[in-house]
Amino acid sequence: MDLDTVALHEFIRQALSEDVGNGDHTSLSTIPAGQQGRAKLLVKDTGVIAGVSVALEIFKIVDPALVIEILIEDGGSVHPGDIAFYVNGSVHAILVAERLVLNTMQRMSGIATTTNNVVKLLEGTGTKVLDTRKTTPGLRYLEKLAVKIGGGVNHRFGLYDMVLIKDNHVDYAGGTAKAIEAAKAYLKANNLDIPVEIEVRNTAELNEVINSSGVDRILLDNFTFENLKEAVALINKRFITEASGGITEENVLEYAQCGVDYVSMGALTHSVKSLDMSLKAVKSN
């Protein structure tokens, strides 16, 4: 998987600046300069690991001379006691990188694990799981990368790569049809070629969308299962369909069985449990 190294390196440098400040005085005061050592990334949970490739970039920026031996790649299944990688080199550099590597990998692995659980639940349904913009400020790239590693699909990254007309847009614009026409005119005037999706709250709004043109995807928000099935039948594959609103691991299969192409879940990124792991010194004999 190709990394956006520009965005990633900016994040790493900001995070290191926040953490290190004018120096890691604990390590500088207790460990001789130039001391070499070895550490291992020890997994303490069961799940899907994510962030190994990010950890490599963190180590590279902290000290390009660090040598990493990868044992488990991103997307691999892990269990307590597994070792994801070893890192060798300057002890000072390893300790500077330690917390950023762990914070990043623990959260990314939690997201990848949650996503993968949902992907497995959806096997055989034809429905795919999408992430949302309900991400941690400053961490969106990493959290959406973790969703991909877990087997999910990225929705729009931000406000700039898709027109997503939601309930507030519809209400402020004066209705569904007006919002769609305004969006079409805007895209044409600005020579933009990006997808258009619109959220509908009921059958009346859905019919307005079906009778309009210029929309690629319909977001069916907070529909009951019965109403969702009826809406999918009414759309009849003329638009890509997405269900959202209160979707969890407990009910996601029932949503998928209504026939939608996608389910979107904010829970993939906004309320996951991090995967437990630690970076431990490997003592020489």
pLDDT 10s digits, 1-36: 579 999 999 999 999 999 999 999 999 999 999 999
Q: How many whole angstroms from its chain centre is CA 203?
A: 31
Report whether pLDDT(219) > 90. yes
Q: Where do we find the tokens 């904010």?
A: 266
- Note the helical H segments in 132-224: 140-149, 167-173, 176-189, 203-210
Single out the catalytic residue among 98, 221, 242, 261. 221
Q: How much is the pLDDT for 285?
A: 62
Q: Where in the chain is the domain with CATH 3.20.20.70?
A: 120-270
Single out the catalytic residue among 166, 184, 201, 229. 166
CB 81 within 8 A of CB 88: no
d(CA 123, CA 188): 39
Q: Where do we find the tokens 């507030």?
A: 168
Q: Measured on CA atoms in the order 187, 192, 195, 201, is the torsion positive or negative?
A: negative
Residues 210-216, mean pLDDT to the nearest whole number? 92
d(CA 167, CA 33): 59
CB 42 within 8 A of CB 279: yes
pTM of the entire structure? 0.95
Report whether pLDDT(284) > 80. no
Q: Tell me if residue 230 is catalytic.
A: no
Report whether pLDDT(54) > 80. yes
Q: What is the pLDDT of residues 117-126, one digit of tens each?
A: 999 999 999 9
Residues sharing a CB contact under 8 Å with residue 157, sequence separation 6 or more, in sequence order: 140, 141, 144
Which H helix or E strand runs over 180? helix 176-189
d(CA 123, CA 112): 16
Q: Collapse the DSSP code of 268 into the 3-class scheme (helix H, G, I; strand E, B; otherwise coil) and give the result.
A: helix
Single out the catalytic residue among 40, 44, 60, 99. 99
Q: Collapse the DSSP code of 274 into the 3-class scheme (helix H, G, I; strand E, B; otherwise coil) and give the result.
A: coil
Which H helix or E strand runs over 198? strand 196-200
Q: Where in the chain is the domain with CATH 3.90.1170.20?
A: 5-110+273-281
Q: Tell me if residue 171 is catalytic.
A: no
Single out the catalytic residue among 38, 133, 134, 229. 134
Report whether pLDDT(213) > 60. yes
CATH architecture of 120-270: Alpha-Beta Barrel (3.20)
Q: Tell me if residue 134 is catalytic.
A: yes
Q: Tell me if residue 199 is catalytic.
A: yes
pLDDT-based confidence at 129, cuts 50/70/90?
very high
d(CA 165, CA 224): 21
Q: How much is the pLDDT for 1?
A: 57
Q: What is the pLDDT of residues 73-114, one digit of tens each?
A: 999 999 999 999 999 999 999 999 999 999 999 999 999 999
Q: Tokens standing for 25?
A: 């005085």
Single out the catalytic residue among 199, 208, 242, 261. 199
CATH 3.90.1170.20 is held by the domain 5-110+273-281: yes
Q: How much is the pLDDT for 235?
A: 97
Q: Tell me if residue 221 is catalytic.
A: yes
